[in-house]
Amino acid sequence: MQIGMNHIQTRGNASRVALVGYYGRGNFGDDLMAVLFGFALRQAGVDFTIYRLCREEADRYGFRTTDSARDLLSDARLLLWGGGGLLVPWPRILYALLYPRVSGEYARLIRIAGDLGLRFCALSVGGSGECPPQLTPEYKQDFLNAAEYISVRNPRDIDLLKQNGVPGDYFPDVIWQTLDHFPAPSRGRGTSRIGVDIYLSNLARKRALHFLPLLWNVIRMRPDCEFTFLDSTNRNVRSSRSPGRFIRGGNIRNYQFSDLAADIEFLSSLDLLISSRLHAPMICMGYGVPVLSIFGEKKTALMMENLGMSCYSFGHGQMKALASLLAQKDRLARFLEQFRFPEVDRLRRESYGHQDRLHAILQSQ
């Protein structure tokens, strides 16, 4: 699905790139996308700096990073937004409460980039499949207005690009490329390990806190399984918010992310992931780990729908059925054996369309 793919409008060359996203704020998926785009820019032989990627990850992969917008944009010709929910609209007050000062910071960065005459492009970004008249917070609309090209990870977001007159294409999320850069370790046989990737604030917003006692009852009924509560927020940025902090049991573990390679290895070692997130389930499926999505946000529900996997999404009125599935050993084993994975190889191959467009942008004058 494409708009204007035969001619990407340009406003100067792209000899140096400022790579921007929701990086360095503890979000696993966004930091992973920073690294994946860093690999692509390095392969293209382009000089680049990443905005706010945590120093440990940047050093681990040999990337240059800065927390200063001025340093980031100095001598840059292209502002590249790499991955994430740039096109997801948020209520202003809720966004300000959840992510204080972030909106103002990005608005300032975009304003400086515009004043300096940088080109604006975004790759593998997503929305919620909706076409609001104006994206909020305002920095999202400001970027959209300035963009010469955007590739999206959801086909339904093409309509938003058309509405705003921005050339673009749809390709599967760049996150499907993870396996190409982080090979899967051999998986040992032993106690079944179920990952639980849920967080209290999302359950509260969804009015779904009643799921916790149901899950606790399942855990007590399944001493043969190890239940690992994970928090994908980097522990170097913020302490754990996992419900596992408050639940005790001999078959309960806690894991908080801190190192992309180790975290991916952990996800690939699971036998099942239960998650309300977006990217952790995609990575698990890429490594052959079945997933169940519960109370996901709109972008997560859209991802499952696009993959034809809405049958693996659970919401209100389905929690008892989910608990029953998890509690019955033989039934869960059959479910895992019969799990229908998406066409992971095809998704991975097609996702490189984002890099193809990046190369075209870099080579254009």
Specify whether 322 is located in the same domain as 219: yes
| 138 and 173 Cβ atoms separated by less than 8 Å | no
Query: 158 is written with which tokens?
Result: 């093409």
> Which CATH number goes with the domain that contains 267?
3.40.50.2000
Which pLDDT score, from 0 to 100, does residue 7 have?
37
> Is 355 contained in some domain?
no
> Is 104 contained in some domain?
yes
Last residue of a domain, one of 170, 189, 207: 170
> Is 111 contained in some domain?
yes
The one-letter code for the residue type at 325 is: L
Sheet holding 225-231, edge to edge: 252-256, 225-231, 192-197, 272-275, 291-294, 313-314
Residue given tokens 């392969």 in the structure block: 43
For the chain, the farthest-separated pair of C-alpha atoms sits apart, in whole angstroms, at 64
Question: 310 CB contacts (<8 Å, ≥6 apart)?
Answer: 301, 304
> Which CATH number goes with the domain that contains 28?
3.40.50.720
DSSP 240: -
Specify whether 190 is located in the same domain as 335: yes
Report d(CA 121, CA 76) in Å as an integer: 13
72-81 burial, b for 16+ CB within 10 Å, e for fewer? bbeebbbbbb
Burial class (CB in 10 A: 0-12, 13-18, 19+), 207: exposed
Among residues 127, 186, 154, which one has the least CA distance to residue 347? 154
By three-state DSSP, how is residue 222 classified?
A: coil
Strand pairing category for 225-231 and 149-152: unpaired
By three-state DSSP, how is residue 270 classified?
A: coil
Q: What single string gives the DSSP state of each residue in 184-234? A: PPPPPPSSEEEEEE--HHHHHHTT-TTHHHHHHHHHHH-TTEEEEEEE-B-
Report d(CA 78, CA 69) in Å as an integer: 14
Number of domains the chain contains:
2
> Is 348 contained in some domain?
no
Specify whether 38 is located in the same domain as 67: yes
Q: Is 172 left (phi over 0), alpha (psi -120 to 50) or beta?
A: beta
Q: How many of the other CB atoms lie within 10 Å of CB of 298?
A: 14
Query: What is the Rg, in whole angstroms, of the alpha carbon atoms belonging to the chain?
Result: 21
Specify whether 148 is located in the same domain as 280: no
Specify whether 165 is located in the same domain as 235: no
pLDDT of the chain, 365 residues: tens digit per residue? 554 433 334 444 456 999 999 999 999 999 999 999 999 999 999 999 999 999 999 999 999 999 999 999 999 999 999 999 999 999 999 999 989 999 999 999 999 999 999 999 999 999 999 999 999 999 999 999 999 999 999 999 999 999 999 999 999 999 999 999 999 876 666 789 999 999 888 899 899 999 999 999 999 999 999 999 999 999 988 888 888 888 889 999 999 999 999 999 999 999 999 999 999 999 999 999 999 999 998 999 999 999 999 999 999 999 999 999 999 999 999 999 999 999 999 999 999 999 999 999 999 85
Which pTM value belongs to this model? 0.93
Last residue of a domain, one of 170, 203, 218: 170
Specify whether 101 is located in the same domain as 190: no
Specify whether 188 is located in the same domain as 164: no
Last residue of a domain, one of 108, 136, 170: 170
Q: End-to-end CA distance of the chain, in Å?
A: 25
> Is 357 contained in some domain?
no
> Is 57 contained in some domain?
yes
Specify whether 159 is located in the same domain as 225: no
For residue 255, give its domain range: 181-342
Specify whether 144 is located in the same domain as 200: no
Specify whether 199 is located in the same domain as 295: yes
Specify whether 92 is located in the same domain as 191: no
Specify whether 215 is located in the same domain as 86: no
| 147 and 357 Cβ atoms separated by less than 8 Å | no
Report d(CA 150, CA 41) in Å as an integer: 17
